[in-house]
Structure 1
């Protein structure tokens, strides 16, 4: 059975981009007779207070996008809040540690963004390996001044996969990714490790998420393999952009669901989103259940979607 998931970081009310991702994830799983898991990615608890997770679940219920398990509903693979899963992440962190792949990093943010640091074509910094080969004496000396974060050593290996929507993609881990964080200096586990462990242990077979996370997939596939975990199939969807071309943001208040609920019915919101995603020919009101039977990834654009002015 297909098991999809929606894994938000609820730092505020959902905006249209979040909702679009949830809709496509729900439809993709349900169109195949599958189930949907809701996982709350609240590793940064200060940024993601529990009240927003509770509101998000109420919003999903109101829209007809309720998950089959997870969140406050619970289920056999809990806990479903990442903030409650640190002990689980520790077990898999230790697997990497015992393989000799984990090392402390003392670099500051300014050092990481220094002029001599390598950059990908999209402007992201690729870690230069500055702390990879520190001696035990150097580690002890630097630890007295500041606590380290912890990185994983990646091989000089190209990993590719065929995305269910965007097609083939590959990266060389050493050149295009670099050694990445597993754990912050304050002890909080990093997204890359947590998401891999959670999707595997929760039985997720299909991951639908934004195209901005496409470049995370090769390193995650490497983690699945290195940890001996089954990898899901990936579908990366185009980003939903504001009419002026900006990426939607909770910070900017881009049509939060709180505002939309005051103006539209659930069916009107879903129908208009389905239209911009190519799932129907007009922005007519629809329920998610009505859209599931005719859902196909072939209908969804592969380029970023610009919201028409005045649609919402």
Structure 2
């Protein structure tokens, strides 16, 4: 199994303000916080607010307040992606100059014949009346990496992903580009996040290579599942965690991550519970592979 990154360790939690913090996001926050503290490192919060149509007014502030109620605050000023458009534009300009980024007018209908993947030349002609999306043209190349928890994982980008969007038709920069630029800017040495993003990692590693950016280590955590077997998400209106009574959800998140604490900690503050959990947090204790967890039951 891959050893922890060399010091100084820098990790992060990067929520999107599309709703309140739910149990699945709490697991990712706690897991990333514990990993940073166990490695003697720095833990940062980045608000990924580059998708205005999906964002909910006040959600970002509510998420930050909820994290604070659970004893987790950023060691450095919170980074807001809406302030980072110049950096993303510079990365897009670099990719364009390298012949990697290109404008694309293809619709979903145009790509239906290839299973929704953009492969090779565009099927739609340039249309001066419409704004294009910008895609990254990927090679016939398998990107392989070792996840700290799940082990080897790889993809042939051309065959499994296709040329992917890095700036949307609406003008918003896409997650795949923004996360790579920001992880490098913040000096992130290890990305700890949910396993639903495992298959995004090869794209991000490839962009790091093309942009000559450092590659962090990756640790993907198992997903918290609802009673219907689907991962918990804000978009599904999953029940938010209660910042006014954080201990039940915090203990459930720690148990999900394989951290066993004595019953006496139920009466302590969230900050004290988290401090006690640092020495008990072990990668080998995190359940794998993915398992279904009835998170609502765990919180009752």
TM-score, structure 1 as length reference: 0.86
The match for 2:89 is 90
Change (3 A) 1:293 1:50: farther
Aligned to 1:307: 294
**Are the structure 2 counterparts of residues 88 and 281 from structure 1 closer, same or farther at C-alpha, using a change threshold of 3 Å?**
same
* Partner SS, residue 203 of structure 1: coil
Question: 2:119·2:158 contact (CA, 8 Å) conserved in 1?
Answer: no
Out of 184, 206, 210, the residue aligned to residue 226 of structure 1 is: 210
Indicate which of 135, 158, 171 corresponds to 2:142. 158
* From 141, 155, 176, the counterpart of 1:192: 176
| 272 and 282 in structure 1: CA distance in 2 versus 1, 3 angstrom threshold | farther
Measured in 2, the distance between the counterparts of 1:190 and 1:2 equals 27
Q: Does 1:127 align with 2:118?
A: yes
In structure 1, the residue matched to 2:4 is none
Report what 1:26 is aligned to.
33
> Which residue of the partner structure matches residue 109 of structure 1?
108
Q: Is the alpha carbon distance of 1:49 and 1:245 closer, same or farther for their aligned partners in structure 2, counting shifts above 3 Å?
A: closer
The alpha-carbon deviation at position 170 of structure 1 amounts to 0.8
1:268 — aligned with what?
248
Cα distance, 1:271–1:42 mapped onto 2, change above 3 Å? same
Contact persistence 2:18–2:235 (CA under 8 A): no
What is the CA–CA distance in structure 1 between the aligned matches of 2:235 and 2:143, rounded to whole Å? Answer: 35
Structure-2 separation of matches of 1:171 and 1:308:
31
Instruction: Return 5+ residue gaps in structure 2 as ranges.
Output: 1-7
Partner residue of 1:242 out of 219, 223, 226? 226
Counterpart-to-counterpart distance in 1, 2:235 and 2:201: 26
RMSD of the alignment, in Å?
2.0
Does 281-290 or 10-19 show the bigger shift?
A: 281-290
Alpha-carbon separation, structure 2, partners of 1:57 and 1:244: 28
Alpha-carbon deviation of 1:213? Answer: 0.8
Say if 1:21 and 1:102 are closer, same or farther in 2 by CA, change over 3 A: same
Counterpart position of 1:76: none
Cα separation, 1, equivalents of 2:175 and 2:296? 34
User: 1:255 — aligned with what?
Assistant: 239
Q: Which runs of 5+ in 1 are unaligned?
A: 72-79, 119-124
Report deviation, 1:297: 1.1
Question: TM (normalized to structure 2)?
Answer: 0.89
